[in-house]
Amino acid sequence: MTTTTTSPVLTATGVTMRFGGLTAVRSVNLEVHPGEIVGLIGPNGAGKTTFFNCLTGLYVPTEGSVAYRGTVLPPKPHLVTQAGIARTFQNIRLFANMTVLENVLVGRHTRTKEGLWSALLRGPGFKRAEAASKTRAMELLEFIGLADKADHLSRNLPYGEQRKLEIARALASDPGLLLLDEPTAGMNPQETRATEELVFAIRDLGTAVLVIEHDMRFIFNLCDRVAVLVQGEKLIEGTSDVVQSDERVVAAYLGTPFEGAPGAEEAAEVEAAEAGATTGATPDEAQRGTTARTEDGQ
Amino acid sequence: MTTDKTQPTAVSEAQGGATAPRTTLLRVLTAAGGAAAVASTFLAWTWTAEFPGDLTVYGYPGGLQLLTLVLGIATGVFALAALDLKGLRWLTPSGSTQALRMLALGTFAVTWFTVISIAVDLDGLVNLEPGGWIAAVVTAVPVATTFLLPDDSRQLRRPKELPSWAEILIIAAVFALGLYVVNYGIQTDADHPEPFIGYLIAVGFAAVALVKAGLVSRISELTSAYRSTTLVAALITAIVFPFFQDKSSFTELGVNIAIFATVALGLNIVVGLAGLLDLGYVAFLGVGAYTAALVSGSTASTLDVRFPFWAAVITGGVVSLIFGVVIGAPTLRLRGDYLAIVTLGFGEIFRLAMLNLDGTSGPSVTNGPDGIPNIPPLEIFGFNFNDDHSFAGLSLDSNGNYYLLMLLVTILVVLIFSRAGNSRIGRAWVAIREDETAATAMGINGFRVKLIAFALGATLAGVAGAVWAHFQSTVVPEQYVFAGPVPPNSTFLVAAVILGGMGTIGGPLLGATLLYLIPKKLEFLQDYQLLAFGIALILLMRFRPEGIVPNRRQQLEYHETGQLDVPGATGLKDGAVGVTKAEA
Ligand SMILES: Nc1ncnc2c1ncn2[C@@H]1O[C@H](COP(=O)(O)OP(=O)(O)O)[C@@H](O)[C@H]1O
Ligand SMILES: [Mg+2]
């Protein structure tokens, strides 16, 4: 489990995102600790991607703040990446007409600083930095298993490899926290298994991971902790077991209508409807468990 | 990964099996047709020397006949190569039929163009001598036979290993040939359009033929294997160019081409690498030119200073840079097409400002429509650019001097383009062009990186403008328009980049050369130049959107089936790329 003594890599406090009348994310708090793999699940349109965009500065949150290792981040994507949070996209966004290696080299951008002058003058420093970037990029390609395709255009890679390449590109900025937005979407079971191994390997390298996913098996195998987002609000957060057995989570995924905010009454209704059938932890207990864990984390 | 080596079109005979007798016969006929075309050029095609080039002489070919002659020889030789004649097989590393078709078509087109022009120019078919009729008939033969030949395109055949001196000699020969071909075009008679049109037809078909035969790939393999040799060869070729010109006006063409090609290459950093559409680029050239003119010591200049040339160039570059930053800084924070609109506006504002800073409508700076004439000739280390000079028995006139100076600027810009493009900042530009959201999420400060590209482009244009002002010895506002019949104008520059090939070095150089040379040589086109421009660009976008010199990236982008660099990849059309821009 997690090391609860260290300070969190990510602290999102009261993050709210409104698009006109639509509140896509409503005061969500979330922490990710070093060495943790945290899952973020929720039905389609729950606001998961929007939450990621708020974390990475692509959207400026209407309210709330995001801090990395205790420092509040400005809502500028390049500064967020510079600070140490890297991400992948739900819809693959590789640089389609660059080679696989070049894609990863672009990921090194924040960790190198050779500017125009140094490129024009090509001094020894430039050559050294360029060689070092290439070495690091090849290491990463080796790590995800795409080294033999370094010179292919990324658009020509099969879908699964494109997703892997996005991960390598994100890792190239040596992040302390990696955000993965549905990394196994469109993958077959073997590829999903491989991605699971990959995420563990990334965690073992010392990068915390926050992952959005629909594949429940994937999430519950992988994550130390899972947060559930429903209609922009965090419904519950806790260990896989706790979340898995939570009635409201089941209900959210089965599509029981949640009117407005998923308040206590609705939860209670759902509970009542299925009270007799289930054993497991009651929502109350689950809630308490979660709270306990969050406090642990602090 | 399954590597599928067999080409569907490659018939087994191409791999060395027995050739069908019919194919052999057709190839022999093609060779004979080529020989007949050659023979026909030794006849008179018309009776009067009124038609340009003097095609009246029996015994040796002249004028447009020379083109038929060369293409006829090429058709014959390639047909012999197709017949597997020992010593010629290297000509067709990736198959002979398609190349032969192009050569036969080229011979036919040039010949018929000549014959028809004779009939039209001189009013009537009676002006054709029997030689003309014979040429018209015999050049049709190879066209028929080559289109009956089976297609034998194949993967590039591995060439025989050659000693390296031989390969270097080949590179030298290619550059010499290139210089000859360019010279031939530049030296065609500008008073008559026929020779130049014939030249364009011949060069066009021959170039496609060389691509189809695989010779172009073979040569680019060689040039990339011997990079420094190639660079030296290119440099020598460019340097000797003015020494081969027998008329000063030809060297002047060379200077102008060098200037516009350089400016187009600078624009290619902005448009091709960073993906920023700059529709007012010519204004930066103007800023450089006007600045240099003002500090040149010209009698008409309102500033009473005389900077040495190097300082004038630097001043021109720096002032352009400042304008670049001033225009770019507010605009580049926004996305998309704002930049195109703002730069378009800037281009017009610049011209109007130069017109109005005449002392009556505004402060007296630029003399309004009269511009700044009498820019004194350049003098560097006592070397006066307006005098003739001779080195080792070769003489160089004023245009030649400026040509060599301009060549220096061109080399500088080529160097900047290739070094910047192939570095951290260059990758950031391309990343921004490909997907700005993803690029910023990878830690690239989009605004900063775009501003660097924009300002660098502006600076290079300013430097070129400073040289141009001295070469022209005058600057006037009307040279810096958005679209117009004479270059430089912003449309011309953007068109040169797109026509040549975005993101490449060769593309804008070639594009600017063609766009400058063609209207110069075909005076009748000048009134319709913009129309011709438009038609040419529409055709280009339809048939070759990546430009004449494709960037490896773009070629794959526009021709999905190509899969050039992925030998065994299976198709991936599952929308992996199509959805990229959907969501942040
Ligand atoms: N840029 C935007 N403008 C307006 N509405 C948006 C925008 N981005 C997301 N939304 C809305 O926010 C809600 C959450 O979307 P999203 O975060 O993509 O969901 P998820 O990733 O959980 O499937 C959706 O209703 C979506 O339509
Ligand atoms: Mg999503």
**SS3 (DSSP) at B394:** strand
C-alpha B436 to ligand 2 mean position (Å):
19
CA distance A137 to chain B (A): 13
- Most informative mutation of A26, A28, A50, A60 for ligand 1 (most atoms within 8 A of CB): A50
More confident residue, A178 or B540: A178
Judge if A133 and A156 occupy the same domain: yes
**Residues in the ligand 1 pocket, defined by CB under 6 Å:** A 19, 22, 24, 42, 44-50
Q: A80 vs chain B: nearest CA distance in angstroms?
A: 7
Strands ordered across the beta sheet of A208-212: A85-87, A177-181, A208-212, A37-41, A225-230, A233-238
Residue A297 lies in a domain: no
Nearest CA of chain B to the CA of A172: how many Å? Answer: 9
Which atom from ligand 1 is nearest to the alpha carbon of A51? 17
pLDDT one-digit tens code per residue, B82-136: 888 888 888 888 888 999 999 999 999 999 999 999 888 888 888 888 888 999 9
Is residue A294 included in any domain, yes or no? no
A229 Cα nearest atom in ligand 1:
22
| Of B280 and B545, the one with more pLDDT | B280
Tokens of A260: 């407005």
C-beta separation of B1 from B568 below 8 A: yes
Residue with tokens 């793999």: A37
Please report how many Cα atoms fall inside a 13 Å half-sphere around the Cα of residue B461, on the Cβ side: 33
pLDDT given at position A59: 94
Q: What's the Cα-to-Cα distance from A226 to each of A66, A92, A294, B344, rounded to whole Å?
A: 19, 24, 11, 53
The residue that leads in pLDDT, A241 or B386, is A241
Q: Exposed (0-12), middle (13-18) or buried (19+): which is B311, by Cβ within 10 Å?
A: middle
Assign B75 to helix, strand or coil. helix
Position A285 confidence tier, pLDDT thresholds 50, 70, 90: very low
Q: Is the pLDDT of residue A195 over 70?
A: yes
The Cβ of residue A194 has, within 10 Å, a number of other Cβ atoms equal to 17
A79 and A1 share one domain: yes
Residue A256 binned pLDDT confidence (cut-offs 50, 70, 90) = low
Task: Identify the top-confidence range among A268-272, B225-229, B387-391, B528-532.
Answer: B225-229
Out of B431, B452, B579, the one facing A106 most closely (by C-beta) is B431
Mean pLDDT computed over A143-165: 92
Domain-embedded: residue A4: yes
Domain holding A257, by residue range, is: 1-84+177-182+208-276
Residue with CA at minimum distance from ligand 1 atom 26: A45
* Residues A76 and A216 placed together within one structural domain of the fold: yes
Are A32 and A60 within one domain?
yes
Q: List residues of chain B with CB under 8 Å from any CB of chain A.
A: 415-416, 419-420, 422-428, 430-431, 434-435, 437-446, 452, 456, 553-554, 556-557, 563, 565-566, 569-570, 572, 574, 576-577, 579-580, 582-584
Of residues B87 and B319, the one with the higher pLDDT is B319
Q: Is the separation of the CB atoms in A112 and A131 below 8 Å?
A: no
On whether both A3 and A79 belong to a single domain, the answer is yes
> In B436-482, where does DSSP find H-type helix?
436-441, 446-472
Three-class secondary structure assignment of B122-170 = CCCHHHECHHHHHHHHHCHHHHHHHHHCCCCCCCCCCCCCCCHHHHHHH
What is the distance between the alpha carbons of residues B498 and B169, in angstroms, rounded to a whole number? 33
- Domain count across chain A: 2
Q: Are residues A166 and A231 in the same domain?
A: no
Nearest CA owner, ligand 1 atom 1: A19
Q: Rounded to the nearest whole angstrom, what is the distance from the C-alpha of residue A51 to the centroid of ligand 1?
A: 9
Strands, E assignment, chain A? 10-19, 22-32, 37-41, 63-68, 71-72, 85-87, 177-181, 208-212, 225-230, 233-238
Average the pLDDT over B345-359 and give the result: 90
Whole-number Å distance, alpha carbon B516 to ligand 1 midpoint, is 51
User: What confidence tens digit (pLDDT) does each residue in B241-289 have?
Assistant: 888 888 888 899 999 999 999 999 999 999 999 999 999 999 999 999 9
Shortest-distance Cα residue to atom 19 of ligand 1: A45
Facing residue for B427 by CB, picked from A87, A106, A151: A106
This complex has an ipTM of: 0.83
The DSSP bridge pattern shows strands A177-181 and A85-87 to be parallel
What is the Cα–Cα distance from B456 to B292, expressed in whole angstroms? 18
DSSP B397-446: -HHHHHHHHHHHHHHHHHHHHHHHHTSHHHHHHHHHHH-HHHHHHTT--H
Vertex A215: Cα angle to A214 and A220 (nearest 5): 110
CB contact at 8 A, B334 and B446: no
CATH number at residue A169: 3.40.50.300
Say if residue B425's pLDDT is above 70: yes
For a pLDDT cut of 90, what percent of chain B falls above it? 42
Residue A193 lies in a domain: no
| Confidence band of B552 (pLDDT split at 50, 70, 90) | low
Is the same domain home to A268 and A227?
yes
Q: How confident is the model at residue B582 (pLDDT cuts 50, 70, 90)?
A: very low
- Rounded to the nearest angstrom, the distance between the alpha carbon of A45 and the centre of ligand 2 is 7
Both A23 and A169 in one domain: the answer is no
Chain B neighbors of A108, CB-CB under 8 A: 424
- Is the model's pLDDT at B499 over the cut of 70? yes
Of A250-254, A282-286, B540-544, least confident by mean pLDDT is A282-286
In a domain, A139, yes or no: yes
Amino acid occupying residue B232: V
Backbone phi, psi, residue A180, to 5°: -115, 120
Specify the residue for token string 């006139």: B397
**How far from the centroid of its chain's Cα atoms is residue B36's Cα?**
33
Q: Give mean pLDDT, residues A151-175.
A: 93
- Regarding whether A108 and A65 lie in a shared domain, the answer is no
Is residue B216 helix, strand or coil? helix
A199 domain residue, yes or no: no
Q: Distance between CA B358 and CA B30 in Å, rounded? A: 68
**According to the model, what pLDDT value does residue B553 have?**
54
Residue A297 scores a pLDDT above 80: no
For testing contact with chain B, the best of A58, A116, A165, A174 (most B CBs within 10 A): A116
Same domain, A95 and A78: no
* φ, ψ for residue A12, nearest 5 deg: -100, 125
Q: Assess contact for B257 and B513: CB atoms under 8 A.
A: yes
Is pTM beyond 0.90 here? no
* pLDDT at position B341 over 80: yes
CA nearest B437 in A: which residue? A58
Rounded to the nearest integer, the mean pLDDT of chain B is 84
In angstroms, rounded to a whole number, what is the distance separating the alpha carbons of residues B494 and B104? 34
Q: Do B439 and A106 touch (CB under 8 A)?
A: yes
| pLDDT reported for residue A51 | 95
Q: How much is the pLDDT for A66?
A: 95
Euclidean distance between CA atoms A272 and A69, whole angstroms: 42
Q: Are B522 and B196 in contact (CB under 8 A)?
A: yes
Q: Is residue A289 part of a domain?
A: no
CA of A149 relative to ligand 1 center, distance in Å: 35
Considering the domain architecture, whether residues A80 and A222 belong to the same structural domain is answered as yes
Domain boundary among A128, A150, A174: A174
Task: Give, in order, the Cα–Cα distances in Å from B355 to each of A202, B248, B293, B324, B359.
Answer: 64, 32, 15, 21, 10
User: How far apart are the CA of B578 and the centre of ligand 1, in A?
Assistant: 20
Q: pLDDT class for B299, splitting at 50, 70, 90?
A: confident
Last residue of a domain, one of A153, A174, A195: A174
Is A10 inside any structural domain? yes
Using the beta-carbon criterion (under 8 Å), do A156 and B424 form an inter-chain contact?
no
**What pLDDT digit, counting tens, does each position of A85-136 carry?**
999 999 999 999 899 999 999 999 999 988 899 999 998 999 999 999 999 9
Q: Tokens at residue B178, please?
A: 């290139």
Which residue in B492, B531, B498 sits closest to B515, CA to CA? B492
Continuous segment of H or E residues that includes residue A118: helix A116-121
Nearest CB to A119 within list B419, B437, B572 = B419
Nearest to B250 by CA among B240, B241, B237, B239: B241
CB within 8 Å: A95 and B438: yes
Q: Please tell me which of the candidates A76, A91, A119 has its beta carbon nearest to residue B579.
A: A91
> In which band, very low, low, confident or very high, does the pLDDT at B486 lie, cut at 50, 70 and 90?
confident
Q: Residue B441 and residue A92: Cβ atoms within 8 Å?
A: no
Q: Quick one: pLDDT at residue A283?
A: 42
Which of A77, A92, A157 comes nearest B440 by C-beta?
A77
pLDDT of B536 over the 50 cut = yes
Do A60 and A105 belong together in one domain?
no
Residues in chain A with CB shorter than 8 Å from the CB of B440 are: 58, 76-78
* Contact residues for A228 (Cβ-Cβ < 8 A; gap 6+): A41, A42, A234, A235, A236, A237, A243, A246, A249, A252
Residue of higher predicted confidence among B247 and B509: B509
